[in-house]
Structure 1
Amino acid sequence: MKIYRLIGTTMILVLLSCSKNDDTIETNENKAPITFELLGINEGDGQKPLLTWEASTDPDGDPLTYDVIAENEDGISKVVAKNIAGTSFELDGLVNSIGEYSWKVVAKDGKGGQMVSKINKECTKFNTLIFSKTALTKRTPFSVAKGSGGASGGIFVFDSKIYTSGADKREWWQSTNGSAWSKVNLPEDLGTDQAKLLTFKNKLWCISGDGKIVWYWGGYEIYWAWEYGELKQKTRAPGWRLVSRSANFPPPYSSDDYKIVIFKDKIWSIRGTSVGNVGKAWRSTDMVNWTTHGLLFRLPYSEGSTLSVFNGRLWQIGGIGTRYRWSSNDGINWRREGLDFSSTRRTAWHSSVVYDNKLWAITGWGIDGDIWWSSDGNRWNLTNKNEVPFKGRVLTSSVVFNNKVFVVGGYVWYDDEDTSIKTDVWTMKKCSSGLRFEL
């Protein structure tokens, strides 16, 4: 009897043990997708903006989809797309409906696991430019403009420095950072005459006001010379080297109607003309000998325009003499392009640069401080003018330096409370989805 009772008790314990084990189910905790970054907004196909991001991966091997979310400055979010299988989303048509939002993307594994993209609010706004509110410097020791009816000074980069002139071109200045400026020592023979500084074929050139005397800046040089009947080695210190006193630099030198560009390994000086007349271009390979042979053409003169080299062509942009843009692949045969910059808006006395594979027209005639850009020279886009950190101005000088665009000075002419010459410097640079003016 005791034996049966013991066996029964043992069986009950075994059954209870089995029942307890059957109720215990081992589960693996679902892991969220790994972190990933939002790359920004690119133009995509044509002019359609494309939001792109890195691909996330799931530790459990689950397939991922993505949601695109727009978030305003108050933290209010709006889901604009769900369950995207790829790593991009076309934003075309969302400009008006979304407005001033930042963007983020959420990776989902379908089992409740989620990961939000790293957010850079400066670089993911739906704007081509994002601005700070502070100038690099508020007071340069010169002004590139001299007021209404004046003209901006020249500007270029050479040997890791920015060179720019005062408005009257009797003084030139240089800077390694755009904030601290020092005066350029011009050739002594120049006297108080105007000077034209240019960079061409990796040299810095200076041309006198009448276009006849040409110098270039030379570094340390070793040369041999006869002295007291012996051939001796001598050293020449850095300085201006005289090249010619009989150059024929295109007249009239002092006219700002003549735009100077480097195009197809030659230096060009080009001026359009009034309707029905013939324009003229000069070109040179050595800065001394200039020719106009075969360089007559018909290009409408446009006061306040700029001349830029972009995508292998010369482009005349803006101005008040013509409503159209013009381009040429040889400097002689000019093709009329579209309107500047829309059917209702033009600009003049602006500055232009080529940056980030785009052609830019910066500020100019108008009260809004407009900044326009184009990827092909024909279709133009207006940046968010509400974020431009300075008032509309004319006669700015702009240049690309150290992967940034430097915008120097200008003149405010439309504001009765602030009609003044500006001596500040602003910078903008590429920032993932576009550009931003920075501190």
Structure 2
Amino acid sequence: MKKFLKITTIMGLIITMVNCNNDDEPINEVPTPVNQKPNAFNLLSINNNAVFAAVKPTLKWETATDPDGDAVEYFLRLDESPTPTTLVKGNMTTTSYKLEDRLSLDKKYYWQVAAKDSKGNTTKSDEIFSFTTRNLNFNNTPVTSNAAFTARNSHTSTVYDNKMWVIGGHDGNERRDVWYSTDGVAWFSATAGAAFSARNYHATTVFDSKMWVIGGLNGSALNDVWYSIDGVGWWPASTSASFSPRFGHTAVTFKNRMWVIGGDDGSIKNDVWYSPDGITWIEATANAAFSGRAYHTTVVFDGKLWVIGGNGGGLDYKNDVWFSEDGVTWTQATSNANFSERAHHTTAVFDNKLWVFGGYNGSSNYKNDAWYSEDGITWLEATSLTPFSGRYGLTSATFDNKIWVIGGYDGAYKNDVWVMN
């Protein structure tokens, strides 16, 4: 019996030692598969190097399949860099996207799409595509060839209260009527006889939630200042402002002030005036760096005042461009822009560019070319021949993301309205 117990004990020790040795051996585990990124895919359209592309294009690409069956989302990057980094839209599950924000005209863009699976692995499209957007579209026919207001030139146009407005001008006689439109087609009379006297070659701006009419010509030069909150009732802020009576001047709103620049008071002016209220007018400079001029244009662009072209008297037509950050110090952007010398033209700010249309330079040929610039220095011709007739004394307005050209004189007074986008 003792012998049996001894043998049993020895066997137990052996089994225990074997089991301990087995515990020291590694366990062969099945490795976890490495998650794979989505498969390669291609961009489809807009075609690479496309031109005349829409400013709100639809971009398309192939489906990026995932080897592991993971869900895939797409991320679209687009900008002006050859390696675009600006995220336009992310977390998309579709393979196309129509841009919501309008792109600039005549600009080259680059785009690429990245496919990202639910584990965070990413594959970028094999290529980066580029395209160039179209330039300004000119409709071949006017939105109206015969607006409700009489045919005229040397009027003013502005945008106020979500409407376009036409004020005064000359149709064979000076006018003091005020018209408005929400679509450029249907025009309504706010008043046939505003409280201010009939006039042309006046200036208009919007300031302090009001429309303002400043100076002009009615047999003699004027320096009165009027305002309205509705286009119907007009009130005098000043019957005789501090600046001399004048016409062919310009007015704009800049840095919470109204500004009056240049014009003709019997001599051609290059003074600059401003007002915080339309009543008190302060001379910023009596003699700006640019030469005296009338029938020029002034706009606010890129945080600066810009003066473009005009007439210095007689046949002294100009195509220089000047800018100022304070109305006192003026810098010449160019002494000789690519467009020809002119006055009685119109200038619009649209698509982060300056646009110049039409005008007159003393010849019998009225102009209907269109030019644009991103910096006031380099000017490019959008077209040498717009669909509307050559004319001067026309006006323009930027409204509803379009440029509108209104009236003018082409040998006859005009009351047509044209739109460009």
TM-score between both structures, scaled by the size of structure 1: 0.58
Alignment match of 2:292 (pick from 301, 305, 312) = 301
Other-structure match for 2:229: 217
- Describe the superposition over 1:365-424 as per-residue Cα deviations: whole angstroms up to 9, x where unpaired: 3566210001111111101335x3223222221000111111112222xxxxxx322221
Determine the C-alpha separation between the residues in 1 that align with 2:388 and 2:298. Answer: 24
Equivalent in 127, 136, 153 of residue 129 of structure 1: 136
Other-structure match for 2:61: 56
Of the three residues 244, 247, 252, the one matched with 1:251 is: 244
- In 2 relative to 1, CA 190–396 (structure 1 residues): closer, same or farther, beyond 3 Å? closer
| Range 288-297 or range 310-319, more displaced | 288-297
Q: What is the number of equivalent residue pairs in this alignment?
A: 310
One-letter identity of the residue aligned with 2:416: D
Q: Identify the residue that residue 418 of structure 2 maps to in structure 1.
A: 426
- For residue 166 of structure 2, what is the aligned residue in structure 1? 164
Distance in 2, matches of 1:54 and 1:372, equals 30
Question: Cα offset for 1:334?
Answer: 1.6
Q: Match for 1:135: what amino acid? A: P
**1:211, CA displacement in angstroms?**
4.0
Aligned partners of 2:226 and 2:236 also within 8 Å:
yes
Distance 1:186 1:424, change over 3 A: closer
Equivalent residue in structure 2 for 1:335, among 319, 322, 331: 331
Contact 2:406/2:417 (8 A) holds in 1: yes
Distance (Å, rounded) in 2 between the aligned partners of 1:319 and 1:213? 23
For the pair shown, the structure with the greater C-alpha radius of gyration is 2
Deviation per CA, 1:221-264: give whole Å up to 9, x if none.
Answer: xxxxxxxxxxxxxxxxx9637465655263314x11x1111111
Q: Is the 8 A contact 2:207 2:253 kept in 1?
A: yes
Q: 1:249·1:287 contact (CA, 8 Å) conserved in 2?
A: no
Residue 261 of structure 2 aligns to which amino acid in structure 1?
I
Do the aligned partners of 1:249 and 1:290 also contact (CA within 8 Å) in 2? yes
Candidates 341, 344, 347, aligned match of 1:349 = 344
Which shifted more, 136-145 or 326-335?
136-145
1:337 alignment partner AA: A
Where structure 2 has 5 or more consecutive residues not aligned to the other structure, the ranges are 1-38, 68-81, 86-110, 114-130, 217-221
Residues of 2 paired with 1:213 and 1:323: CA distance? 29
**Alpha-carbon displacement from aligned partner over 1:87-126 (angstroms, at most 9, x marks no partner):** 89xxxxxxxxxxxxxxxx9x9xxxxxxxxxxxxxxxx887
Rounded to whole Å, the distance in 2 between the matches of 1:203 and 1:125 is 40
Q: CA separation of 1:373/1:241 partners in 2, compared to 1, >3 Å: closer, same or farther?
A: closer
Judged with a 3 Å threshold, the aligned counterparts in structure 2 of structure 1 residues 319 and 425 are, in CA distance, closer, same or farther, namely same
Structure 2 match to 1:110: none
What is residue 371 of structure 1 aligned with on the other side? 370
CA contact (8 A) 1:278 1:299 kept: no
The aligned residue for residue 102 of structure 2 is none
Q: Could you tell me how far apart the structure 1 residues matched to 2:371 and 2:40 are? A: 46
Per the alignment, do residues 428 and 40 of structure 1 end up closer, same or farther by CA in structure 2, a change over 3 Å counting? farther
Please state if 1:281 is matched with 2:305.
Answer: no
8 Å CA contact 2:227, 2:235 repeated in 1: yes
Aligned to 1:69: none
Q: In structure 2, what residue type is equivalent to 1:364? A: G
- The equivalent position to 1:180 in structure 2, one of 158, 169, 186, is 186
**Cα deviation, residue 335, structure 1:** 1.6
Normalised by the length of structure 2, the TM-score is 0.60
1:134 Cα deviation after fit: 1.7
Alignment of 1:403-418 (within 5 A): 403-412=401-410
Pick closer, same or farther for the CA change 1:385–1:126 going to 2, 3 Å: farther
1:313: Cα distance to partner? 1.7
Shift of 1:138: 0.5
Deviation at 1:279, TM superposition (A): 2.8
Task: State the distance in 2 between where 1:403 and 1:354 align.
Answer: 11
Deviation per CA, 1:60-104: give whole Å up to 9, x if none: 579xxxxxxxxxxxxxxxxxxxxxx9789xxxxxxxxxxxxxxxx
1:31-78 deviation per Cα after TM superposition (whole angstroms, max 9, x unaligned):
9967544699899xxxxxx9x98462344579xxxxxxxxxxxxxxxx
SS at match of 2:418: strand
- Is 1:157–1:401's contact at 8 Å kept on the other side of the alignment? yes
Distance 1:196 1:304 in 2: 10
Letter in 2 for 1:361: V
Structure 1: tracts of 5 or more residues without a match = 1-29, 44-49, 63-84, 89-104, 108-123, 147-151, 219-237, 413-418, 430-439
**RMSD over aligned Cα atoms:** 4.5
- Secondary structure, counterpart of 2:259 in structure 1: strand
1:200 aligned onto 2:207: yes
Larger proportion of strand = 2
> Does 2:397 match 1:399?
yes
* TM-aligned CA distance change 1:378 to 1:423, over 3 Å: same
Other-structure match for 2:148: 141
2:303 aligned with 1:312, yes or no? Answer: yes
Would you say the 8 A contact 2:367–2:392 is kept in 1? no
Shift of residue 317 of structure 1? Answer: 1.3
Give the conservation status (yes or no) of the 8 Å contact 2:144–2:418. Answer: yes
Give the SS at the match of 1:363: strand
| Amino acid across the alignment from 1:157 | V
Distance in 1 of aligned mates of 2:46 and 2:388: 32
Residue deviations 1:135-184 (CA, integer Å, cap 9, x gap): 100012335644xxxxx211101101111123334222111111111222
Out of 237, 240, 249, the position equivalent to 2:233 is 240
